[in-house]
Each structure stands twice: as structure tokens, then as C-alpha cells.
Structure 1
């Protein structure tokens, strides 16, 4: 078979894979428990998750926050599960807007770590599959929230994205246990720190090669997050690049001058372990 045909077929396969990944992401209109509200409670105890993160995460030399899954004891895993059960019993509608966002982000991230620990060792979260066509564990119903069986997809696409549609920065604090993902926070989020953390996390990821980089010949490579959630970031590559520039360092901003297209999207699905 001629070499150009092989190259064409390879590109087609890559394109199909990217399309499948995008199709696997639900629209932000999933059936969800009734959680919408704007209550007065601003403080919620996330101490167990905070201690877990401090004890079992560290940042590597490349700036990737990694989890020491192999050394997490059964006792600490049990404490994590207990924390998740307590979260599931909370009436999120009684929380303030900031406390509610921190609650759901902590819930999502802690549940993701719990999934990995349930199946560890694995090389990637995408290796955790059910029957048939399955790209990962995101649709598995893991907990009852207000009487509704709830999955990771339900939390992200049925709750977080619909309730905060004008805050694309939420994607910088949600972690899917992959190296290519924005870092897992090393402290629990709270009503008091979530707003500042969104901006810090955005700047960190945008200025990391995992987020955005510009080659010597001017080609822009970006995380697939900007492709998967194009609408959340503005609906076009032009607007996505404007968003990126708003968080870019002076050096990166200069390299992005005049750029209106992203030539390549990448994502590393390797497990964020050490």
C-alpha cells in the first residue's frame, strides 16, 4: 500500500478517535437530582479530603500533581469513601453559590480518585470499562444523591456545567486522573478559596505545555479540553484563543499574537500516579 495512503488512513483513524471522545461527552442537560439553590450556608467540612490530598499527592519536576495510589492504605481509602457518603447526604441547595461550587468540584475529584483506587492498578482511567462500547467509568452510578443514582458524568454535565454555564474556568479544577488533565488540587476547595483558585488554576494550565504551546514555526497546539468543550469556551477557536490570551504569561501572549486557529489538539491519558 502506498505510503501516502497509509498516512491518510492514520489521520482518518486519529480523527475518528477524537470524534468518539467528543461524542462520549454528554450535553449539559442530563437528568440530575434537584440541587439548584442559593442558600446561606457557606462552610462545609472538607477536612477529610484536605488531609487525603496533603498526605497522598505531590507535584513532579514537570509540575504535574500526582497521586500515590499504590501506597494508599485500605484505611485511608475507607475514610475517602466515608467522606463521599457524607457529601452525598448534604443538601447542596442550602449552600451559598461559592460553597456549592466547591462542594461539587470536591465531590467529582474525590469520586474520581475513589474509582481509581477501586480498580488499581490501572495504567489509565480509560482502562476501567464495563460491557460493550465504553470509553471509561464516567457513566457508572456510584452514589445516591437526594434519592437519585449519580455518576461522574451526572455531576459534571448534569450539575456543574448547567449551574455555572458562564464559568469555563471550572474545567481547570475538575480532574479526571490523567496526566493531560489540569492538576488535581492539593488542598480541598472551599467557599472561601474557590473563586481565587479558579483563576490560579486557569493561569497554571494555560501556561503549561499540557494546556497550550506554540512551536518555533508558529503552530499552536492545545489541550483537547478546548476541543471537547469548545462551546463552554466561547464556541470558536478565535474566542478560545482570546480566552487563552487572557490567562497567558507575557511570553506566551506574544507568541499568540495574530493567532486565530489551533492546528493540533493533544491529551495524555496516562494515569497521574507516581
Structure 2
């Protein structure tokens, strides 16, 4: 079954540009619209998941790919390999139960071993788009929810906007009212990433928030819940 899936996908890839159909199918089957992940489901469908890992590994972005093609590839790769990290150690209560989860080199792309930290800090953050922080997922409750569709060159820009807006206006992850502003620690950890176009973190949040932050409210950061997002 795995061989058949890979042969079929490689044939499709040879005829068309790279696509993420296998990952899209796996997400639809195993992630709810609210972002709850069925890790047991991913393990049951492991042939599909490992077929996608094989395609990712064998087909890294090329120089002639567009920015959006590269961005979609690396976001999907980060999220897919995060799933792999969890199911390789499952059951766990938190990604932090795994030793050095972001430094561990446990997957290959184009013949080289990589870690999730490398994908995030050396590749994804280099795109200079702070919205990626709301697309990549650390398998934890306080993280932005996993989108149950694959990112593609055609949808990535609109999807990043939608995921950013959804996260910022989610009261379980950010409290933004006229009197209190208590936001995710993501805005503290990656503060410099949000300083774009001459603005700061507040300006970035206000671009997407339904309630605008002024200078008067009491401000702080929410405790980060690292429990597994299942």
C-alpha cells in the first residue's frame, strides 16, 4: 500500500508542480476544525503519513520555486514532523516530556538530518513574515490551532491572515478588552519578529484584533499551557 501510494504520488509530481495532497488528506482525517489532533488516528494512518515524509525528504524546495511555494512547503514540513515527533513517543502528556524536542535531529530532507528548531529559526523566520508563528504548531494547547488543511502556494497568504486573526481573537489564547490586555507569550518570545513596517507588537495585534489595544489597559502575558493538543 505504501509503495503504491508513493509511486502514484511521484507520478503526479513528475507531471505537475509539487503538491501536498497526501498531507491534506491526513489532516482532514485526523484534525478537527477546532484543531484537536487525533494522534491515534495518525498512527493508524501511518502509511499515508510516512509516504508524505518520503516525498518531503526527496523533493526539497528548488531555486525556481516561488516564495509562496517554499513557504507552504516549510510550514507543512514543520507541522508534519511535529506530528512525527509526538507519535514516535506517544503516549505523552506534553511535547516537553520529550528530551530536547526542538533540538533533536530526527528527520532527513535532501539527505541531511534536521531538527524542528532549524526549520523554525534558520528557515521559516528568515521569510520575515511574523504570521508564520500562527501557522506552525508545537503540539500544545496554547499554540495556535493546527489548520486541518495543507498550506499551498495558492492558499498560503490568505490562510496566514486567517490563522493570525483566529489566534489573536481567540479568548482562550489572548484576552484583549478595553481594560485588560493579557496576550500569548508568543508575542514576548518573538517580539522582534512583530516589529514590521516601523511598528511594534501592539501595532501588529491591532491589525487583526477585533478590539484595539490602547495605551491605558493593564497588560501582561498568559501562562502557556504545554499540554498536548488532543
TM range (shorter): 0.7 to 0.9
Aligned residues: 213
- Among 127, 151, 158, the alignment partner of 1:189 is 151
Match of 1:53 in 2: 27
Give a deviation string over 1:60-96, Cα, whole Å, max 9, x none: xxxx41011134444x123212211211111302421
Give a deviation string over 1:177-217, Cα, whole Å, max 9, x none: 1111111111001000000001001110010024421368x
- Secondary structure in structure 2 of the residue aligned to 1:220: strand
Give the alignment's TM-score, normalised by structure 2.
0.85
8 Å contact from structure 1 (residues 43, 99) kept in 2: no
- Among 85, 104, 112, the alignment partner of 2:74 is 104
Q: 1:73 to 1:174 in 2, by over 3 A?
A: closer
Match of 1:83 in 2: 52
Provide structure 1 residue ranges, at least 5 long, that are not aligned to the other structure.
Answer: 1-41, 130-135
Cα drift, residue 241 of structure 1: 1.2
Give a deviation string over 1:11-69, Cα, whole Å, max 9, x none: xxxxxxxxxxxxxxxxxxxxxxxxxxxxxxx942211110110001114xxxx410111
- Secondary structure in structure 2 of the residue aligned to 1:65: coil
Give the alignment's TM-score, normalised by structure 1.
0.72
Larger radius of gyration: 1
- Among 151, 175, 184, the alignment partner of 1:223 is 184
Match of 1:239 in 2: 200
CA distance in 2, matches of 1:73, 1:171: 26
Which contiguous aligned blocks of 4+ residues in structure 1 show a shift greater than 4 angstroms? none
Q: 1:115 to 1:215 in 2, by over 3 A?
A: same
- Give 1:108-123 correspondences, 5 Å limit: 108-123=78-93
